[in-house]
Amino acid sequence: MVSKTMPSINDQADQLPLYADLPLVDGTDLRHAWDVFGPADSLGTLHHLTPNRRLAAMTSSRTGETVCLTLPLNEPHTAPFGRDQLVHVRYRANRFSWGDRVERLDLQSSTQWDGLLHVSHTEAGFYGGHRGDPDGAPHLGIDAWARTGIVGRGVLLDVGAHLAARGGYDALERHVVTPAMLLDVAEAQAVELRPGDILCVRLGWYAAFSALDEDAGRQLMGRVAGAGLSATGDMAEFLWDRRIAAVACDNVTVEVQPGDRADGFLHHRLITMLGMPLGELFDFEELAGRCRDVQKWDFVFTSVPLHLPGGVGSPANAVAVL
């Protein structure tokens, strides 16, 4: 089990309950934070991105250089789970200007955030206990995150490099990343996890996927598999008790695939129950190299989702400021 002791850093006024003290959804092992941030909440754990923490995050930038963290909208070459592939059309608007039209853009086919309307529990509903379809809970739309942005201290944990150094690691094979493993990597990198952090986890999944030929890549996207975060309650406890604001990974699902029914579904534990944003298919390759060169693994993270009322998800539009 993850330690029940809260980190004694940053906002001392944080009196939020520990994970073990959150109520259970009847008949499940799922603990929810639906009443923690008040009724009709639309931000979930983005509440951890307080003004003071955002200001403190600015000190994580030393050079002011930026690194893009998002794939082109037309990548991967095969969208996961049979989602639509982007079609980009340039058209002549008049005699002297051109415009862009994007067709069949699935907002979750490339680097993207899963919003609070992305998954609902069969009995309990969406975050906050809202039952029914997304139309009944417009306040949970991705536009709420667009109005605040996802801006704070980012921390990159290069789990893929850490495991590859031990030998025998293949990011495209099932490999469960536990809370203890995340702490091991943080210790090896000499970086501290702080309340309000945006946790970025490089598994090496997309780099390994990109090395496949197109046919092999298409087959893999049809039966997505590979390294990812553990889906157990211990992972939810770890992230909640450390007041992580959001989690972004370079794989398709954040959590390990294929999943194990006995472990549960991390999307339910984090999005539906805790209101925690999950980012998928992030591009951490350049960032990892730059961080490794200077042995500095924190940075200013900034992402502004699309201002789409009632949206289920959004391209991430994210950069790191080093």
pLDDT for the residue 195: 97
Residue pair 110/306 in contact by the 8 Å Cβ criterion: no
Where do the domains of the chain lie, and which CATH numbers do they carry?
29-321 (3.50.30.50)
pLDDT digit string (tens) for 192-216?
999 999 999 999 999 999 999 999 9
Q: Mean pLDDT, to the nearest integer, of 178-205?
A: 98
pLDDT for the residue 217: 94
Sequence-distant (6+) residues with CB within 8 A of 320 are 66, 67, 69, 154, 287, 299, 300, 301, 302
Better pLDDT: 39 or 296:
296
pLDDT digit string (tens) for 12-35?
457 899 999 999 999 999 999 999
The rounded percent of the chain whose pLDDT value lies above 70 is 96
State the pLDDT confidence band at 276, using cuts at 50, 70 and 90: very high
Q: What is the 3-state secondary structure (H, E, C) of 121-187?
A: ECCCEECCCECCCHHHCHHHCCHHHHHHCEEEEEEEEEHHHHHHCCCCCCCCCCCEECHHHHHHHHH
Residue pair 199/239 in contact by the 8 Å Cβ criterion: yes
pLDDT for the residue 191: 98
pLDDT of 39 > 90? The answer is no
Positive or negative, the CA dihedral 125, 126, 127, 131 is negative
Q: Mean pLDDT, to the nearest integer, of 7-15?
A: 53
Q: pTM of the entire structure?
A: 0.94
State the pLDDT confidence band at 105, using cuts at 50, 70 and 90: confident
Sequence-distant (6+) residues with CB within 8 A of 12 are none
Q: Mean pLDDT, to the nearest integer, of 174-198?
A: 98
pLDDT of 259 > 80? The answer is yes
pLDDT of 6 > 70? The answer is no
Q: Mean pLDDT, to the nearest integer, of 294-300?
A: 97
Backbone phi, then psi, for 68, in 5-degree steps?
A: -70, 135
pLDDT for the residue 5: 40
pLDDT for the residue 274: 98
Strand partners, 137: none
Amino acid making up residue 31: R
CA–chain centroid gap for 74, Å, is 20
Residue found under tokens 């390759």: 285
pLDDT of 313 > 50? The answer is yes
State the pLDDT confidence band at 11, using cuts at 50, 70 and 90: low
State the pLDDT confidence band at 2, using cuts at 50, 70 and 90: very low
